[in-house]
Amino acid sequence: KELDTRGLNCPLPILKAKKALTDMLSGEVLKVVATDPGSVRDFQAFARQTGNELVEQQTVGEEYIHVLRRR
Active centre residues (catalytic): 10
CB atoms within 10 A of CB 28: 13
Q: Is 49 helix (H, G, I), strand (E, B) or coil?
A: helix
Residue 13, preceding peptide bond in cis (omega within 30° of 0): no
Please choose, from the candidates 60, 64, 58, the residue with its C-alpha nearest in 3D space to the C-alpha of residue 39. Answer: 64
